[in-house]
Amino acid sequence: MTYLVALPVVMPLLGAAVTLLLLGRPHAQRWVSLTVLTATVAVSATLLVQSSLHGPLVVEVGGWVAPLGIVLVADQLAALMLVVSAAVTLCVLVYSIGQGMADGHEETPLSVYHPTYLVLTAGVCNAFLSGDLFNLYVGFEILLVASYVLLTLGSTENRIRAGTTYVVVSLLSSVIFLIAIGLVYASTGTLNLAQLVERLDTLPDDLRLVLQGMLLLAFGIKAAVFPLSAWLPDSYPTAPAPVTAVFAGLLTKVGVYAIIRTETLLFPGGRTATLLLVTAVLTMVVGILGAVAQSDIKRLLSFTLISHIGYMLFGVGLTSSLGLSAAIFYVVHHITIQTTLFLAAGLVERRGGSTALDRLGGLARLSPLLAVLFFVPALNLAGIPPFSGFLGKLGLIQAAVDDGGVLAWILVAGGLVTSLLTLYAIARVWNLAFWRTPHADMPADDDAAQAARTEGAVQPDRGGGGRTGAVLPGLMIAPTLALVVLGLALTAVAGPLFDLSTDAADDLLRRTPYVDAVFPGGAP
Amino acid sequence: MTPNLTYVIVVGVLVAAGVTLLLERSLTRVLMGVILLGNGANLLLLTGGRAGGAPIVGTTDPEQMSDPLPQAMILTAIVITLGMTAFLLALAYRSWHLNGHDEVQDDVEDRRIMDLAIRDEGPGTADTEGGTGDGDDDGPVGGARPGADVVEAGRPG
């Protein structure tokens, strides 16, 4: 059974190699990518079931025994993250295939998209599964390098400008992470997470604080925590819609995952709890104020993304079981919802020709289906009951009230204000883009929109230009709809899901299940 | 294990020079900065392991061997830095191709939002036609101002 643990990393990498060989054959590429990602979803689901029944699953890569070799560990947290991210990547892949087919990208050199996308998936899975600090670094690098390529696809002027900032900031965070790894190794002589658990405990407090601070800094940049978040709204919105969607859903959450893992497993005791709580409230409030000021849907969503990272830090900073479990629940919710919203924004861009709020209007009348696809996840993000966003925030606030400290109450206030302002920002998008009378230069119906697209587009449309379905292809609607439904399903299964996240949080706080799984005979 | 002072000083110099270059606007200099920073980090990794003979069984007594793990990690990091250098060079070249220079540019949309804030208009309210933009006037402006100040301060020249 344990060999399954390696598959979410190995399969996408092999798939990437195969799609690279099939460079000139987009049809074959699509099928390979679809098969690989479907299999990844299946394997991740199996891992989740197995790890919640039998405890963490461990595989020693290459057969080298634990402290010498690298281990991949699928505990409940990692498996849960794997399932959600695999499902989301699959939906986004279908969406991008739909978009590619509608735009006639068959002959364009963008066929490098599939290998890169699969490498990105492999990197994300590797980061989740890694039981070794350096392997975590490698996972980060794999996903970052793939993301550099995806962000600058087509290398237009705007993407090069945005890509430059993104690449340099990411490189800086990688260097900080590498320096932190060097310091950890120099002071403990190991990088295996389970072995670090014991060795770090014997270090002097000040030294531990330095190591913890370095790691937090590196992961904070990746997770876009407030003072380190300026790069995100600058770079994400310029990428193609599916790329932005998958970045928004997954990349920052990998950073959050790394923060959760190191804060609970390596540095328990909450010495940085105050720091985390303060940055959490700043991230929430400053992020959402930024969102309120925006006049472009994609940028607005990028700012809400930053803002809601604050909720996750909020849960981690409380260091209680309930807080941690609510944070994990929130991560799952937010991956799904944020991706859905960016996919919907991509559809808005196709239908209205832009995502700038002053150029849109009347979309609810022009395209009711699109309106539903945006409205439901938008309310979910704002935390309207009974959606999962409400349940996640409720859990966090409950945990804060249990905590009872002054800072916790400030966070409750900050969380509520942020939630309200999110509703305001989302309502503004709704008012301007979906209500109002349609803007004069907006295409009046789907046929006109298609005509406008064909005129403006560089590539000639692949026939059938007059058909209504051509503007919003079924293959783009279906995955968005699937994610909307998944977001709703999170409400339906909220009970079991919260039980699962509580189990995961308890295991994280006890630390022994993880260590025992890696070293069944006791740590060396 | 006692750290070697020479190493530590060299790491400090490399990192300091790297950070200085990283703060430049020209992407080529930024690239140099990244390379120096990367080398500094690699050297720091090396400092973390025991020094000694080649870690190959049969050539050195195990007691005298150097620690091979930092070296393996440095190799990985060097390969990653190599790939990144190539990618950044391509970015700089493409930027030069498009704009005639390789300077990192400001975010245009950010500027636009700032201008809106200066003119005291909320985003998206400039040409409201349907009259549904109620209450749009106070929130966005209040939200936009702090961000605008930051952008202004960060403006070159």
For A475-503, write each residue's pLDDT tens digit: 888 999 999 999 999 989 999 999 999 99
Residue B46 confidence (pLDDT) above 90: no
> Of A388, A445, A390, A396, whose CA–CA distance to A420 is shortest?
A390
End-to-end CA distance of chain B: 50
Whether B28 has its CB under 8 Å from any CB of chain A: the answer is no
Residue A455 confidence (pLDDT) above 80: no
Residue A441 confidence (pLDDT) above 90: no
Rounded mean pLDDT, A91-107: 78
- Which ipTM was obtained for this model? 0.81
The pLDDT, as a whole number, for residue A272 is 87
Tens digit of each residue's pLDDT (9 = 90 or more) over A231-256: 898 888 888 888 999 999 899 999 99
**Same domain, residue pair B69 and B88:** yes
Beta bridge partners of A356: A296
Whether B10 has its CB under 8 Å from any CB of chain A: the answer is no
The pLDDT, as a whole number, for residue B135 is 38
CB B86 within 8 A of CB A222: no
Q: Could you give the CA distance from residue B86 to residue A46 in angstroms, rounded to a whole number?
A: 39
- A362 to chain B: which residues are within 8 Å by CB? 130
Question: pLDDT-based confidence at A339, cuts 50/70/90?
Answer: very high
The pLDDT, as a whole number, for residue B1 is 55
Q: Phi/psi of residue A493, each to 5°? A: -100, 20
Beta bridge partners of A58: A73
What does the domain layout of chain A look like in residue ranges? 2-456+467-516
Total residues belonging to chain A: 524
The pLDDT, as a whole number, for residue A170 is 92
- B136 to chain A: which residues are within 8 Å by CB? 428, 431
**Same domain, residue pair B63 and B125:** no
Residue A117 to residues A21, A96, A123, A160, A225, Cα–Cα distance (Å): 15, 11, 10, 19, 25
The pLDDT, as a whole number, for residue A450 is 61
Rounded mean pLDDT, A112-138: 92
Residue type, B77: A
Calculate how close chain B gets to A142, using CA atoms only, in Å: 9
Calculate how close chain B gets to A233, using CA atoms only, in Å: 9
If you measure CA to CA, which chain B residue comes closest to A152? B91
**Same domain, residue pair B32 and B61:** yes
Ranges A267-276, A307-316, B60-69, B101-110: which has the least confidence: B101-110
Whether B113 has its CB under 8 Å from any CB of chain A: the answer is yes
Calculate how close chain B gets to A450, using CA atoms only, in Å: 24
The pLDDT, as a whole number, for residue A101 is 78
Of A106 and A185, the structure prediction assigns the larger pLDDT to A185
Nearest by CB to residue B113, choosing from A171, A293, A424, is: A293
Residue A407 confidence (pLDDT) above 60: yes
When the pLDDT of each residue in chain A is averaged and rounded to a whole number, the result is: 87
Whether A431 has its CB under 8 Å from any CB of chain B: the answer is yes
Residue B5 confidence (pLDDT) above 90: no
Nearest by CB to residue A234, choosing from B88, B107, B136, is: B107
Whether B35 has its CB under 8 Å from any CB of chain A: the answer is no
Calculate how close chain A gets to B127, using CA atoms only, in Å: 7
Question: pLDDT-based confidence at A425, cuts 50/70/90?
Answer: very high
Q: Is A27 left (phi over 0), alpha (psi -120 to 50) or beta?
A: alpha
Tens digit of each residue's pLDDT (9 = 90 or more) over B83-100: 999 999 988 888 888 888
Whether A282 has its CB under 8 Å from any CB of chain B: the answer is no
Q: How many cross-chain Cβ pairs, A to B, lie less than 8 Å apart?
A: 135
Domain residues for the domain of B32 are 5-99
At residue A462, the 3 state secondary structure works out as: coil
Cβ count within 10 A of residue A505: 25
Residue A462 confidence (pLDDT) above 50: no
CB A379 within 8 A of CB A391: no
Residue A468 confidence (pLDDT) above 50: no
Tens digit of each residue's pLDDT (9 = 90 or more) over A192-231: 998 898 888 888 989 999 999 999 999 999 999 988 888 8
Tracing tokens 């900080």 back to the chain, one arrives at: A176
Q: Could you give the CA distance from residue A365 to residue B95 in angstroms, rounded to a whole number?
A: 42
HSE, side-chain direction, 13 A CA sphere, residue B103: 8
At residue A272, the 3 state secondary structure works out as: coil
The pLDDT, as a whole number, for residue A446 is 62
Nearest by CB to residue A168, choosing from B30, B132, B139, is: B30
End-to-end CA distance of chain A: 25
Tens digit of each residue's pLDDT (9 = 90 or more) over A51-75: 988 888 888 888 888 788 889 999 9
Residue of A149, A295, A354 to mutate for B, most B C-beta atoms under 10 A: A295
What CATH number is given to the structural domain containing B17?
1.10.287
Nearest by CB to residue B132, choosing from A152, A291, A431, is: A431
Of A335 and B146, the structure prediction assigns the larger pLDDT to A335
If you measure CA to CA, which chain B residue comes closest to A356? B124
The pLDDT, as a whole number, for residue B144 is 39
Residue A270 confidence (pLDDT) above 90: no
Whether B86 has its CB under 8 Å from any CB of chain A: the answer is no
Inspect the interface and report whether the beta carbons of B49 and A185 lie closer than 8 Å: yes
Tens digit of each residue's pLDDT (9 = 90 or more) over A359-388: 888 888 888 888 899 999 999 999 888 899
If you measure CA to CA, which chain A residue comes closest to B85? A171
Rounded mean pLDDT, A79-105: 87
**Same domain, residue pair B83 and B112:** no
The pLDDT, as a whole number, for residue A440 is 64
Q: How many domains are contained in chain B?
A: 2
Q: Is B122 left (phi over 0), alpha (psi -120 to 50) or beta?
A: beta
Inspect the interface and report whether the beta carbons of B41 and A182 lie closer than 8 Å: yes
Inspect the interface and report whether the beta carbons of A424 and B139 lie closer than 8 Å: yes
**Same domain, residue pair B121 and B77:** no
Question: pLDDT-based confidence at B114, cuts 50/70/90?
Answer: confident
**Same domain, residue pair B83 and B117:** no
Rounded mean pLDDT, A341-356: 87
If you measure CA to CA, which chain B residue comes closest to A288? B143
Residue B138 confidence (pLDDT) above 90: no
Residue A465 confidence (pLDDT) above 90: no
Residue A221 to residues A232, A290, A309, A385, A418, Cα–Cα distance (Å): 10, 18, 12, 32, 21
Question: pLDDT-based confidence at B131, cuts 50/70/90?
Answer: very low
Q: Could you give the CA distance from residue B77 to residue A137 in angstroms, rounded to a whole number?
A: 10
Whether A179 has its CB under 8 Å from any CB of chain B: the answer is yes
**Same domain, residue pair B93 and B137:** no
The pLDDT, as a whole number, for residue A105 is 55
- Counting residues of chain A whose pLDDT is more than 70, the rounded percentage is 92
Nearest by CB to residue B130, choosing from A138, A293, A361, is: A361
The pLDDT, as a whole number, for residue A523 is 67
Q: Could you give the CA distance from residue A266 to residue A258 in angstroms, rounded to a whole number?
A: 11
